[in-house]
């Protein structure tokens, strides 16, 4: 089932990314999972200056129309479109450039010393590694060693 879900997410992301870009928005993340009230297809969108409820409603209409025509999901689900929030995930190389000088929380695949979770100021991206400043110490972390990254408060 996970492989099928991954393929479905890749297909959905493939249409949603350019659709949202044409609308002046960015697709941050797509999730499709079973929750207490059934299946949920959740889109997190963003744009310069942040997204509002009208942006979410417009994106929801466009995404819903596409999904209805393509009939990709054979069972009932709820569609949600929202902002990624103040602690948005960082997934693409461009995210690590765009959010330089912001406080981030990084979860590593392999520990750095004894730490698997690092919090520090993102100083940018150098080739395939991020530069993170923590307590006056600067470290380089290979992108492939990052399990999860997000802005933090």
Beta bridge partners of 38: 35
The alpha carbon dihedral of 17, 59, 22, 74 has a sign of positive
- Tell me, yes or no, if the two domains 2-82 and 93-151 fold the same way: no
Domain definitions of the chain by residue range: 2-82, 93-151
Q: pTM, whole model, 2 decimals?
A: 0.80
Helix (H, G, I), strand (E, B) or coil at 43: strand
pLDDT at 1 over 60: no
Q: Across-strand partners of 138?
A: 133
Crossing angle of the two packed helices 2-22 and 53-70, in degrees rounded to 10: 120
Q: What is the CA radius of gyration of the chain?
A: 17
Paired residues of 125 in beta bridges: 130
Which CATH code for domain 2-82? 3.30.300.70
pLDDT in tens, 43-94: 999 998 889 999 999 999 999 999 999 888 888 999 999 999 889 999 889 8
CATH code of the domain occupying 93-151: 2.30.30.180
Helix, strand or coil, per DSSP, at residue 2: helix
Quick one: DSSP state of residue 47? -
Assess whether pLDDT exceeds 70 at residue 102. yes
Confidence of residue 2 (pLDDT cuts 50, 70, 90): low
The enclosing H or E element of 99 equals none
Task: Give the whole-number percent of the chain exceeding pLDDT 70.
Answer: 98
């Amino acid at each position: 089932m996970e492989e099928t879900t991954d393929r479905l997410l890749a297909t959905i992301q493939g249409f949603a990314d350019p659709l949202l870009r044409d609308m002046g928005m960015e697709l941050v993340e797509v999730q499709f999972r079973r929750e207490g009230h059934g299946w949920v297809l959740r889109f997190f969108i963003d744009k310069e200056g942040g997204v509002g409820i009208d942006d979410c409603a417009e994106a929801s209409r466009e995404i819903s129309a596409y999904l209805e025509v393509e009939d990709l999901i054979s069972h009932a689900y709820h569609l949600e479109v929202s902002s990624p929030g103040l602690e948005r995930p960082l997934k693409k190389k461009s995210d690590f450039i765009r959010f330089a000088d912001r406080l981030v929380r990084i979860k590593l695949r392999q520990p750095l010393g004894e730490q698997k979770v690092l919090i520090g100021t993102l100083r940018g991206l150098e080739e395939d590694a991020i530069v993170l400043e923590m307590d006056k110490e600067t470290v380089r972390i290979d992108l492939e060693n990052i399990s999860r990254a997000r802005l933090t408060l």
